[in-house]
Amino acid sequence: MWIEENNKLHRSFKFKNFSEAFAFMTQVALIAEKMNHHPYWTNIYNEVTISLSTHDAGDIITIKDKKLAGEIDKIFKGNNQLLKKN
């Protein structure tokens, strides 16, 4: 679940291992580039933490952030469904 704090949307995602976390980040990077809206994120082993805000709007949450958050959630949900099938 995304949390609004300090004019940013925040969420952490946990994975089985580093490879799964990195694959997720790669998928998010492709969507972010397509949307021309790039996250601030960190990755430590199997955890990816993402913060979203719109720099051009004064580092506040805008519709761009909410749209990207929704796309990130779809990627995460899709990856989890694939893992359950395998």
pLDDT, tens digit (0-9, with 9 covering 90-100), for 38-48: 999 999 999 99
Residue 61 predicted with pLDDT over 80: yes
What integer pLDDT is reported at residue 79 of this predicted model?
76
Q: What pTM does this model have? A: 0.88
Return d(Cα 43, Cα 58) in angstroms, integer: 25
Return d(Cα 33, Cα 38) in angstroms, integer: 7
- CATH class name, domain 3-85: alpha beta
Q: Mean pLDDT across the chain, nearest whole number? A: 93
Residue 8 predicted with pLDDT over 90: yes
Token couple for 73 = 């959630």
Strand partners, 60: 54
What's the rounded mean pLDDT across residues 1-28?
97
Return d(Cα 31, Cα 10) in angstroms, integer: 18
What's the rounded mean pLDDT across residues 54-83?
89
Secondary structure class of 30 (helix, strand, coil): helix
Decide if 14 contacts 47 (C-beta within 8 A).
Answer: yes
